[in-house]
Structure 1
Amino acid sequence: MKTISRFALKSILLLSIACSLSLGVHSCKTDNIIADTIALGPPVETEPAETNYEPAFVGQTRAPGVTSSPGYTATAIISSLQNPWGITGLPDGRLLITEKGGTLRIATSAGELSPAIIGLPSVDAAGQGGLLGLCIDPDFSANRLIYWVFSESQAGGSVTAVAKGVLSLDESKVENVTVIYRATPAFAGSLHYGGRIVFDRSGFLIVSTGERSSLVTRPQAQDVSSSLGKLVRIAKDGSPAVGNPSFGQGNAKPELYSIGHRNPQGLAIHPTTGDIWQSEHGPRGGDELNHITAGANYGWPTITYGIEYSGQSIGDAIQQKDGMEQPVYYWDPVVSPSGMTFYSHNHLPQWRNNLFIASLSGQHIIRLVIRDNKVVGEERLLAGENQRFRDVAQGKDGALYAITDQGRLYRIY
């Protein structure tokens, strides 16, 4: 019979207690617990909340704190990026990075940085706009296709747009560029573009769009005839994906996948289940992590755990409503969650299937331990670096790579 250490037994007991407290049930999966050896502590957030709103269930916010043990190392391998925004891995282990001003670059794990890659359409880089998230085609090794999101100037303002193109063999330019999707209507503002893009397990693109921040456009997050404040699901040519939900209304845009989002800057596919997870910026309080279901309404601006920046309540100041989904987790005060990824490598087994989220105003990387689609532990990585973390991706070598607004690329291993 295999002997289990006293520490491992204690960890299993503590996680079992956390699951019972956090999930309100009497059982919890303990897969890979020995590898995780999770020890629970007080919540990592110690500042007072901006609101006095009550969570819908225990564990929806301020989950128990956890600590990576054994630890990890983190090194800033590049410090000369210009406002990097998105990062994704290439099949050979290098990293493809967007810079907000409109530049695409390739970085190596040794800290080498390519010259600017040309050929991309111009971007509207005012405010929160620019060259945003990106991903590569599942068949990139054969077709060299990349996809990216950017803010595009239009008559009447700007839109969140999606383009694709072929990375040239010499990696100096992107060729055969085509804009395949535009989130309409256009708006004369420079905030809340959303901007993440990932492939789902069916080979369709999931794209996040913001509601553009204005009180005028905010209600469009609930309007199925608008692309604003949504997750959209499209084919590689930009057409609506097969199997999208109908939303029960004849005027609903066929590309819509979920609605009721504010400024979603995080998207990730769970490596085991294939489920879509999303993070979005709340107002003053109420940053959210959502487990996405096709056709679901995530509530903004009707329900929220935040308030206006002025301190005023939003709408009817309600947090729950029939027909609207609750966030799996929320932060109050805000941490400004941006790009995110699940960890799936064997290098750090304790991190397998954990979710890592780049935090802007929080100036750290969030590690979330998730069991049965509930957050049971939270850790803050690199909190002493004083960096606004914009995106994080897993490399082929099992390291996490994170970019910051200040121009750094970190290797976390």
Structure 2
Amino acid sequence: MCAAEPWKGPGQPGAPLTPSNTPRPQWPYCEKRCSYCNFNKYIPRGVDEAAMRSCLVTEAQTLLRLSGVQRVESVFFGGGTPSLASPHTVAAVLEAVAQTAHLPADSEVTLEVNPTSAPASRLAAFGAAGVNRLSIGLQSLDDTELQLLGRTHSARDALRTLAEARRLFPGRVSVDLMLGLPAQQVGPWLRQLEELLRRCDDHLSLYQLSLERGTALFTRVQRGALPTPDPERAAEMYQEGRALLREAGFRQYEVSNFARHGALSTHNWTYWQCGQYIGVGPGAHGRFVPQGAGGLAREARIQTLEPDNWMKEVKLFGHGTRKRVSLGELELLEEVLAMGLRTDVGITHQHWQQFEPQLTLRDVFGASEEVNRLLEQGGLRCSWEGLAVLDSLLLTLLPRLQEAWQQKTPSPVPGG
């Protein structure tokens, strides 16, 4: 939900790792479950919003104090559908953050929005509550595709919400577009993207559909009611789409994310730089070093999934953390590598050394002449072409890291 100082700005080569904890409040409720979604979401049958609000406030304060964070640079309200929550709830959580840590006036505060839950008056009320950036889940500009995905809005609803959002939050609106749907064709999808480019703001995300077991869409494909998505066609959409965005002046600063005029997401950049962040709310995930635990190990934390049980735990203990796992040094380095290479900046020597001061990038990857040339230019990063095939590159790079780590820390000899 937030990122803390020191901070030189997202995407700046050599910018130091943010050591902060970034709380991300989760609103777990949706109007309906989309056919492709396997997230922790619930269809409400009468939500006690006052109780949920109180617990979000309590847990945010508890975990912020536990993390020892002093300055917050971004807050991200995710879900579920957080635009179904009242602006009063958003304002209460932001006030709790500001009471526990310093929340500068220019901090990025993002709210995920679905078109059907965000008329202009409601968007304006969220702005008054402290939100200054919107992320709109359009997913498609084709009504047939939207029905296939189980969305509750039409293409017309999407474009109307986008226009209202841009009027109220100029230069601070992000939109999502999905690719690789069953039977989806390259040409019509590119025309959607072209239409969106005529109407969108300065941040856009392209996401490929992932068929998740247990979802309605997975079941329909498995039963043969829908064709299996074609991975080669999806790859063509992605390549054509990113080329179109580059021509329109967008920087592909991460595998799925594109921005122009410097409109990068501060909050998401924290994830890709392996900064620390706090997950607040049912099913939220976090990664931070708890203060009072010696400050030695970063923990991966998962909050209790079911909202009613989560609220009971928050009322009893001040937070609803269900699972805590200490990350080993190698696990953390694997994350630094995998997440950093998702960005166009990659991993600078300075960034790597903040996680591993002894084993340098050259120690790990210097055996390759091609990689050595990159390291001489300041670090390790993917080319524009390489971002499109990152998964295959990691199949080569991760074993090299694991081998170098084993050589650095040999196993103890039994009986020695």
Give the number of the structure whose residues are more often strand, by fraction: 1
Does TM, normalized by the shorter one, top 0.5?
Answer: no
TM-score when normalising by structure 2: 0.27
Q: Could you tell me the TM-score, scaled by structure 1's length?
A: 0.28
Bigger Cα Rg:
2
